[in-house]
Structure 1
Amino acid sequence: MADPRPRSAETGTVTTDVPARLDRLPWSRWHWMIVVGLGTVWILDGLEVTTVGNIAGRLSEPGSGLAVTSAQITGIAAALYVAGACAGALFFGWLTDRHGRKKLFMVTLAVYLTATAMTALSFAPWWFFLFRFLTGFGIGGEYAAINSAIDELIPSRFRGRVDLMINGSYWLGAIGGSLLSILALNTSIFPADVGWRLTFGLGVVLGLVILLVRRHVPESPRWQFIHGRGEEAETLVGQVEREVEAEKQERLPRADRSITIHQRAGIGFGTIARTVFGTYPKRAVLGLALFVGQAFLYNAITFGFGAILTTFFHVASGDTGYYFAVIAAGNLAGPLLLGRLFDTVGRRTMISSTYLLSGVLLFGTAWLFDRGSLNATTLTACWCVVLFFASAGASSAYLTVSEIFPMETRAMAIAFFYALGTAAGGISGPLVFSDLTKSGVVGDTALAFVIGASLMCAAGLVSLFLAVNAERRSLEDIAAPLSSAAPPPAAQPAARTS
């Protein structure tokens, strides 16, 4: 993976119309291949995380094969998974910006699958905790590599809805994980120490299929022309254009924009930090607010939903999957039904409204829960509505940080805000929340709801003032590449990469 060129050496100056040519493509089979190859891994992530939440009660029971408590699963194991994701995002995010999207989204999936397989073989708590960390390490790298690749390959007028749809597909896996856990935890079918292992094993099998599909997803042409591989970018885009013209049976219009780039082999951490915090400080605040809000809500509260059901409503551990499937369906519906509006109504309106609505609704849920007005079914219904809006908002956090910073910093920006926001809400959250739910005191759990609601509302207010109107705009217009020789000229004949 080593690059023989000097880290900061310039490799030439090119004028290219590759971004404009990618953005003017109509939707095609090629784009569906990207969505399937890159997006379906979130289904696996949802499958696994939901499975762990549902099997927490079973793992703590005698005969499970592991001497752990439910609080350790929802607390320590959840926090280690998130800590691994933060570390993996930073490590693989840096490699992604330096060595390309394709190499890293293959490597990160391999790490993820290996660690998941090892989790299925757990024989002691330390082993389980170790491979939960390493599983998170792989998935954190996936977030950085995949979100940057998606935004750079998808036309600007579809970018919002596609990004939200892909990130939201996590919840399709969550539905599968919920239903799968019901089958796996049925001791009349599988022994108590076998069923939960099979759920991880199935995730590995599905991941291997995705790995085969992903081999055909190309490198980002935007990354190629900036890193001295302009001819490769030109060849790739030309091939895609011919495929699309053959599919649509019509000629594509000529691209009307070009950009001149000083090609470089790599960008240092110092340059990235100065760009993110010096050049775009308001965008940095926006990214941090969005990630902290959604990270606490999802990594803290939803990790403990099974514990709430069993502790306060005495739902059997083998039945929590039914309730998880319902809230997962609400999560899935949000990005699918609202995603288009992020490209039409606009980013600022939709991001702020989804965060604020989910926060306000969660305040209402906390009030009803504290009064004792809810049962397992009505609490699940309330969460389903809250998460319908929260899921679209959370997905838009990844969309936002992947499109509002320059090309050379994109993967690291995703990694940084994911790591920092998730560390704030996703590591401390599960640890604190597991203690609150374990106490069995209604007021403690209601307090956790209130904290999550407050952070979501705060993020919504920040986005109301600071969100960038990025809908239907080229990435190079939203934030000019650091290597750009001049602002992207409009309405002029576009020169080919040279």
Structure 2
Amino acid sequence: MGGQEQRVGDIVDEVPVGRFHWLVIAIVGGTWAAMAISILAISFTLPTFIERWTLSGFSAGVLGSASLLGMLAGNTVGGWYADRAGRKRTLVGSIVTFSTFTAATAFGVGVYSVVALRFLTGVGLGGALVAGTSYLAELIPSEVRGRYITYLEASYSVGAMVVVVFAWTVLSVLGAPDGRVVGVAAWRVFFAIGIAPIGLAVVVVRLLPRSPYFLARQGRTAAATEALETIAARAGGDLPAVSGPWRVADADDLGYRRLFEPELLGTTVLVASLWAVINLTFYGVFTWLPDTVAAAGYADNLYGFLFVVTVFQLVGQVSAAVLIEVIGRKWTLGGFTSLGGVGILLFAGAVPGAGIDFGASRTAVFLLGLFVMGFAVLGAWAVLYAYTSEIFPTEVRSTGLGFTGSIGKVAAVAGPVFFGTLTRFGYLVAFAPVAVSLVLAGVALFVWGSETKGQTLL
């Protein structure tokens, strides 16, 4: 095989799924769980900040959205950097960044310092999202790649469950009634825990190879070969001796301009639209979830209720992990997206005052719709990462993830404001537009989307 040009993807697909691949998903999945803790920390501490610093609604909104704005920058810059400096290097730097600034938030002295620290936390989170997804996609064989990337998103829901438990323990139990833990403000302890994931950066450096796709694209044949041999050896399988040269995309065919060339323009627009509507839904609906639940009369045990919602999210992601390899990415993503829209219409319509009379079934309809929405939207989000990482070619894989993810973060920032503005006209009025958008996005994918199931990465 020494002198004949080879495709990196063909070699990656020859490696039998083994312990190496489980190690990768455990490490990168651990990063996703840690990111969930960092992202959601503000949701549980925002009431404390509002009371402590007498924040206006606008100031509280800025504080709540600061990390999302940072993620917008991190998605864009991180995707660009990962396609130039490497997925592994970007992932390690991003883990260090978001862990450090999450913990540093514990030393915040006022709203401005916390906003700045949350923004910098978001930069690291955004970089980790795009680099981690590309990295995982390029180490996993085509036959299970979609499932593994979906497992990655399921790890986020595991982290969400952990942060609910942390919040209940640190803020509600240990921090009650004076809000202090061993003499330290409970919210400071809560953020200080965020330094723990920095250990994952050390694990990535020591145990995982660099992406052979990235190395081959740079023309580093020996390094790419070494990475492939490491993957095969650690997977526990046999692989013929490989030495390149490797056939990959041209190294100078890079940049955002590539995303808007005729070959990729339709894909870019479609995928960006999916990112926008799913982010708008998640950050808008879930930011207002406690308020919506209270309006519906089911807020007796908020922490317990939120924990059950995250369980349904995890079930949705695990279900998507199965379906993605059975019926394909396109049909799973489109189906879950459309189902999410139906779920939103159900629970919004069952909120008192919506003008729809469900009679004695109102409670059942509300809970059914809410759990269907959590199940479907998080399942769709999980598949969207897999689909995006496969639909763009290697030379702009992280850039494509970064750009479309950034469009999603713009929608995420707008979501809480959008819903907050419209809720005064009723929850159905606020939620109906995004529910319809989800259904239309799913239909658009059915009509114009391409299937990537089982395809070797280009």
1:344 paired with 2:330, answer: no
1:223 is aligned, of 214, 226, 233, to: 214
Work out the CA distance in 1 between the residues paired with 2:381 and 2:416.
18
Question: Aligned AA for 2:420?
Answer: S
Residues 351 and 76 (structure 1), Cα distance of their counterparts in 2 relative to 1, 3 Å cut = same
Deviation per residue, 1:271-329 (Å, 9 max, x gap): x423444212221122012101111011111122123345664847xx42222111111
Residues 403 and 83 (structure 1), Cα distance of their counterparts in 2 relative to 1, 3 Å cut = same
1:454 paired with 2:440, answer: no
Work out the CA distance in 1 between the residues paired with 2:365 and 2:311.
15
Alignment of 1:62-141 (within 5 A): 65-68=52-55, 72-73=59-60, 75-141=61-127
1:238 paired with 2:229, answer: yes
4+ residue runs over 4 A deviation: 69-72, 187-190, 252-255, 371-381
Cα drift, residue 377 of structure 1: 9.0
Equivalent position SS for 1:42: helix
Residues 392 and 138 (structure 1), Cα distance of their counterparts in 2 relative to 1, 3 Å cut = same
Do the aligned partners of 1:327 and 1:381 also contact (CA within 8 Å) in 2? no
**Residue in 1 that maps onto 2:308:** 326
**Residue in 2 that maps onto 1:209:** 199
Give the aligned CA root-mean-square deviation in angstroms: 2.7
Cα drift, residue 143 of structure 1: 1.3
Question: Aligned AA for 1:81?
Answer: S
Do the aligned partners of 1:80 and 1:133 also contact (CA within 8 Å) in 2? yes
1:30 paired with 2:16, answer: no
1:394 paired with 2:381, answer: yes
Moved more, 375-384 or 348-357: 375-384
Equivalent position SS for 1:158: helix
Do the aligned partners of 2:350 and 2:365 also contact (CA within 8 Å) in 1? no
Moved more, 222-231 or 50-59: 50-59
Residues 254 and 145 (structure 1), Cα distance of their counterparts in 2 relative to 1, 3 Å cut = same
Higher relative contact order, structure no. (Cα contacts within 8 Å, ≥ 6 residues apart) = 1
Alignment of 1:358-377 (within 5 A): 358-369=340-351, 370=354, 371=356
Q: How many residues align?
A: 444
**Residue in 1 that maps onto 2:427:** 445
Equivalent position SS for 1:157: helix
Question: Aligned AA for 1:85?
Answer: M
**Residue in 2 that maps onto 1:280:** 264
2:8 is aligned, of 4, 9, 18, to: 18
**Residue in 2 that maps onto 1:7:** none
Do the aligned partners of 2:259 and 2:268 also contact (CA within 8 Å) in 1? no
Question: Aligned AA for 1:303?
Answer: T
Residues 152 and 298 (structure 1), Cα distance of their counterparts in 2 relative to 1, 3 Å cut = same
Cα drift, residue 58 of structure 1: 3.5
Do the aligned partners of 1:71 and 1:435 also contact (CA within 8 Å) in 2? no
Cα drift, residue 188 of structure 1: 6.1
**Residue in 1 that maps onto 2:283:** 299
1:403 paired with 2:369, answer: no
Work out the CA distance in 2 between the residues paired with 1:126 and 1:111.
19
Moved more, 230-239 or 51-60: 51-60
1:39 paired with 2:29, answer: yes
**Residue in 2 that maps onto 1:466:** 448
Moved more, 407-416 or 233-242: 233-242
Do the aligned partners of 2:258 and 2:396 also contact (CA within 8 Å) in 1? no
Do the aligned partners of 1:78 and 1:430 also contact (CA within 8 Å) in 2? no
Equivalent position SS for 2:210: coil
Work out the CA distance in 2 between the residues paired with 1:82 and 1:281.
26
Question: Aligned AA for 2:401?
Answer: I
Question: Aligned AA for 1:120?
Answer: A
Deviation per residue, 1:33-82 (Å, 9 max, x gap): 21122221221222233332233334333xxx443357644x22232221
Work out the CA distance in 2 between the residues paired with 1:30 and 1:175.
27
Work out the CA distance in 2 between the residues paired with 1:461 and 1:453.
13
Determine which structure has the larger helix proportion and give its number.
2
**Residue in 2 that maps onto 1:195:** 186
Residues 18 and 260 (structure 1), Cα distance of their counterparts in 2 relative to 1, 3 Å cut = closer
Work out the CA distance in 2 between the residues paired with 1:293 and 1:50.
20
**Residue in 2 that maps onto 1:353:** 335
Question: Aligned AA for 2:91?
Answer: F
Do the aligned partners of 2:100 and 2:198 also contact (CA within 8 Å) in 1? no
Residues 34 and 70 (structure 1), Cα distance of their counterparts in 2 relative to 1, 3 Å cut = farther
Do the aligned partners of 1:182 and 1:322 also contact (CA within 8 Å) in 2? no
Work out the CA distance in 2 between the residues paired with 1:363 and 1:34.
38
Moved more, 344-353 or 367-376: 367-376
Question: Aligned AA for 2:150?
Answer: L
Cα drift, residue 167 of structure 1: 1.6
Work out the CA distance in 2 between the residues paired with 1:189 and 1:106.
33
Q: Percent identity?
A: 22
TM-score (norm 2): 0.89
Alignment of 1:157-176 (within 5 A): 157-176=143-162
Cα drift, residue 390 of structure 1: 1.3
Q: Which runs of 5+ in 1 are unaligned?
A: 1-12, 477-498
Deviation per residue, 1:348-378 (Å, 9 max, x gap): 2111111111111211222112248698997
**Residue in 2 that maps onto 1:308:** 292
Do the aligned partners of 1:349 and 1:464 also contact (CA within 8 Å) in 2? yes
Alignment of 1:424-439 (within 5 A): 425-437=411-423
Work out the CA distance in 2 between the residues paired with 1:71 and 1:78.
10
Do the aligned partners of 1:436 and 1:448 also contact (CA within 8 Å) in 2? yes
Work out the CA distance in 1 between the residues paired with 2:189 and 2:310.
21
TM-score (norm 1): 0.82
